[in-house]
Amino acid sequence: GDINALGNLFSQLALNLLNNLLLMIGVLVMLWWVDPRIGLVITLVAAGGLLVVERLRRAAVPHWEQLRQADAELYGFLEERLHGTEDLRANGAVAYAMGRLLEQLQRTYAAFLRVRFYTAGGLMVPLFVFGVAYAAVFLLGDWLQRTQGLTIGTLYLVVHYLGLLSGPLWQIVNEIQDLQSAGASVARVRALLRIESKIRDRNYETRDQET
């Protein structure tokens, strides 16, 4: 699971994230070109939304690590017990094995719920961002129309460009959520590589001393 997540990160995720960021920047540039004041407001709202998503990503990585660990322990437990079903029946340990399985499932489900909490929080960010952005555009547009002579056509163009932001922003949120899983995979692989064997090869050490 960890290796597959990292493979997706290096093959697709980084490229998709870059493409959506460039598209989002292009739309923001057009909004600045239409009206700098509206462009500034939308840029600040979008940047704030991305900042919140990034904070959620960092907070979610440890919980993704716990979920990956719980999954690994669960499947390892199942593999061992399935290979030893005859011994479990012969020793009357079926009830004990089922109790241990229930404990493993509870730990895995608890870790899954914590991960889903951060995932749901990330999915709420685009809704909040566009709610604030549309409200700001209509309020600022109404004021500019009454005081600065902003035309209805220009306001419609701004709303249209704002709608174009929805696709890239949703895609960026999805990619950042994939980064949560990939970040947990990187941490687990690093932890695995830091493990040092306590078994020493005496023949190898002897050859080192001789050289």
Confidence class of residue 205 from pLDDT cuts 50, 70 and 90?
A: low
Positive/negative CA dihedral, 160, 161, 162, 163: positive
CA 10/CA 7 separation, integer angstroms:
5
Nearest to 20 by CA among 11, 32, 12, 31: 12
Instruction: Name the band, by pLDDT with cuts 50, 70 and 90, for residue 35.
Output: confident
pLDDT of residue 21: 84
pLDDT at 102: 92
Higher pLDDT, 103 or 210: 103
Name which residue leads in pLDDT, 154 or 180: 154
Mean pLDDT rounded to a whole number for the chain:
80
Whether the predicted pLDDT of 206 surpasses 70: no
Residue 157 pLDDT exceeds 80: yes
Q: What is the mean pLDDT of residues 138-148?
A: 84
Averaged pLDDT, 159-164: 85
- CA distances to 27, 124, 166, 197 from 20, in Å: 11, 19, 11, 44
Span between the terminal Cα atoms of the chain, in Å: 42
- pLDDT exceeds 60 at position 36: yes
Interval 67-86: pLDDT, tens:
888 888 888 888 888 888 88
- Please report, for the chain, the start and end positions of each structural domain, with discontinuous segments joined by +: 2-61+120-194
Quick: pLDDT tens for 105-135.
Answer: 999 999 899 888 888 888 888 888 888 888 8
